[in-house]
Amino acid sequence: MRLTLSATGPAEGFPVAGCPCAVCSRARRHGIRVGPARLESSGGWAVMVDASVASAASAGSAASAGSAASAGSAASARSAASARSAASARSAASARSAASARSAASARSAASARSAASAGSGALRDSGAPQESGAAHESDVARKSGAAHESGSAHESGAAVGPSAADGVGDAGADDPVAGALSAADDGGQAEPVPDGVERRIGETRFRSLGGGVLLIEAAGSSGNGVLWAPQAGDLDDRILDALDTARSGNPLHTVILGPSNATPPDAGEMPSVACARSLARLRARRLVGEHTRALLVGLGHRETHPARLEACLPVWGAELARAGTVLGELSPGPEPSPGLEPSPGLEPSPGPGPSPAPRVGRVLVLGGSGSGKSAFAEQMLSAAPEVVYLATGPKPVADDEESGADEPGPTEHPEDDEWAARVLKHQQRRPDWWGTLETIDVTQPLASDGRAILLDSVGTWLSGVLDRCGAWDDRPGWKDALDAEIGALLSAWRERRAPLVAVSDEVGWSIVPSTESGRLFRDQLGRLNARLADASEEVHVIVAGRLLRTDA
């Protein structure tokens, strides 16, 4: 049974009708139009963005007609004056307007017409036709698309479309998904919600509702193949993960299709797609995502305001941005995921049986000024890692009534500084709760021996602490030699590290010349250190005003 993503947008479509935001405006300028996410099968069913399922096996309209050469074909009509004919098991008949007609000679080709009354409508429409190699995406990562979508038209799989967000793109109710709804089009196309935890079958396909609009789709009698459909779930909670763990019995999924939740808007500077990355991290921790699992992101609309960041994060997450027309492969009984999965036109083929590339991150240096968003971006890059150590080199806030254990504050203590304490707290609250934290300026040992992903934040505060320890501020004899030794040890550990490392550093050389000797010393030393670390890094990113500027290697 062949599975294809015929549309990849959020429930409200993209761009949102009438939305004046910069992302939607840019999309309109480039002719980008994306309909609500939809997964279709050659077996005659389709899953919509709200987790409802439509089946061609039971059509309810009296005015439909069609013919087919196998049991998987079906005919359906939404209007008394429309008809279609087909010569294969995957063709179907459907129309949305009394004055339009469509015919097809195969399951993958179709022509659609719209009535004059709807020609001027500003609502997004989903034609169901796969986008071409220049397919549009839900964010500016996408290239310009020449394929517009028509929300009400039938798709080439032969599925009779039931009520879903696709019927009301841009409507106010499109943001309210039917959680866990599982419906067959057996009552004139009416949705039939199924409670969480309930299983239903359409032909040889089994659908399990895990709650929160999440479906597990499997071939009946198979444990090797499984597709997780969660286009609006965001960060999967433990209840859903536990149910999925039980259902899969330790078997990794074939494909996971994840999208952000529209329930709560992201914080300033946060990418909605980060919730999908965190779900990937938790799925990897439970071994539900393995090395052969394909990870696809859908439903990214106008809230995804940092396309360059997303593009840089996808290889690190081991995920792909789905395109309309993406072929997932065959969902059929068998102990192993099906090899030979095909990318859509314009996608680079992925090596091996697992079509999504493995998470790729070596040594990454992220530079930026104060308040630029550099730390948030570094955290976003490692959001899909199941284990992360946050190496905090900044001064540790010490409360007034807390004993530091020393006569003088050490380089990692910062007593009686409310502003610094608030800054540290903000960073702590932003990090996932499964990340570990190590507060130290002695970073060479963890860099050399810890095999978990490390986020070092920041090189600037590390250098400040080391300058203090070496006696640079007091011009202590021998401080330069001591500093050179510290920097040499850091560079050696950096160059030898094989596990993922993302480090944050301040770019302080673009401002005014410091008025103090110590300020000029710190600026010059950090500028030289940044250059040496950049030379030893696979990737270097610069953040300016929250925007990513990717540098050449």
CA dihedral 438, 441, 442, 447 (to 10 degrees): 60
The rounded distance, in Å, linking the Cα atoms of 241 and 216 is 11
Contact 317, 359 (CB under 8 A): yes
Beta-carbon count within 10 A of 246 CB = 9
**Residue 331 Rama label (left phi>0; alpha psi -120 to 50; beta):** beta
Q: From start to end of 486-538, where are the E strands?
A: 501-506
DSSP state of 92: -
3-class SS of residue 487: helix
In order, the DSSP letters of 65-78 are ----SSTT-----S
Catalytic residues: 427
* 136 CB-contact burial (10 Å; exposed 0-12 / middle 13-18 / buried 19+): buried
DSSP state of 36: B
Query: What does each C-alpha distance from 276 to 39, 250, 452 come to in angstroms?
Result: 18, 21, 21
Query: What does each C-alpha distance from 387 to 141, 235, 286, 289 come to in angstroms?
Result: 28, 16, 12, 14
Closest CA to 393 of 431, 359, 340, 441: 441
The rounded distance, in Å, linking the Cα atoms of 72 and 88 is 9
The rounded distance, in Å, linking the Cα atoms of 164 and 41 is 17
DSSP state of 34: B
Closest CA to 46 of 168, 154, 198: 154
Position 272, amino acid: P
